[in-house]
Amino acid sequence: MFTLFWKEVSSFLNSLIGYIVIAVFLLVNGLFLWVFPLESNILDFGFANLDGLFLIAPFVFLFLIPAITMRFFSEEKKSGTIELLMTKPLTDMQVIFAKYFAGLTLVVFSLLPTLVYFFSVYQLGFPKGNLDIGGMWGSYIGLLFLGASFVAIGLFASSITDNQIVSFIVAVLLSGFIYIGFEFIYSLDLFGNFDLFIKTLGINSHYSAMSRGVIDTRDLLYFLSIIAFFILLTKISLESRKW
């Protein structure tokens, strides 16, 4: 399993794909935080916080993570190596987890350089260090779990098709709906007493709570459930080849 995991990570780091993903993530967030004259601009807004990063980053991940995961199984299916992979002394779950953790590792690699933003804001605070550090770390944990959920969704999308573009589109649509789709349904006020329940089905509700620095067990269980659900769907999708 570790060999497959390392093979996937190496394939990103030995090509431009991984570096492009990390560079685009940092560039887009950097532009919104420091260059574009918007409310997310730290210098213009005048407050020492990273709220703009945690507002923008999920939407960047919404497109970049499917770009990472779209090749995981789609490429194997198209090249015909999926059967060879599955005949190795690995269970389906070991193959799935190897690819999943490879995608998650790249997400972590893209988040680590953003600590430079934290250091910059920390230094710019008046007085220096006037920053809600608890809320910031809660936001980082929430963003990590959000990225982990998107990786699981992208992995499932990649397992149902041999076309990488289709995999990308399905992953973006599924991730986007689970992230903000339930918020939209909630805003329509169609389900009366069930509206709040509908809202809690979406990622944004739990991500927003964690971004306030409140790490609630219910939020953690929600993210773990989303990840487990799509990993299970991926396993079912792979097993369908035997039917």
| CA 130 – CA 225 distance, rounded (Å) | 36
pLDDT class of 108 with cuts at 50, 70, 90: very high
Which band of pLDDT confidence, cut at 50, 70 and 90, is reported for residue 168? Answer: very high
pLDDT digits (tens, 9 = 90+) for 48-79: 677 788 889 999 999 999 998 998 888 877 77
Phi, psi of 109, deg, nearest 5:
-60, -35
Distance from C-alpha of 69 to C-alpha of 7, rounded to nearest angstrom = 14
Model pLDDT for residues 123-134, shown as the tens digit of each residue: 776 677 667 777
CA distance 161 to 155: 11
Q: Residue 178 pLDDT more than 90?
A: yes
Rounded Cα–Cα distance for residues 75 and 2 (Å): 20
Closest by CA to 62, choosing from 162, 143, 164, is 143
Cβ-contact 163, 75 below 8 angstroms: no
Residue 160 near residue 230, CB atoms below 8 Å = no
Average pLDDT value for residue range 8-19 = 78
User: How many residues are there in the chain?
Assistant: 243
Q: How far apart are CA 239 and CA 160, in angstroms?
A: 11
Give the pLDDT score at 58: 93
Q: For residue 169, give both structure tokens.
A: 């589109």
189 vs 134: CA distance, rounded Å: 34
- Residues 148 and 92: their CA atoms lie apart, in Å, by 19
pLDDT at 179 over 90: yes
pLDDT interval class at 46 (50, 70, 90): low
User: Which position has the higher pLDDT, 120 or 101?
Assistant: 101
**Is the pLDDT reported for residue 236 higher than 60?**
yes
Give me 117's structure tokens.
């933003």
Over residues 217-225, mean pLDDT: 94
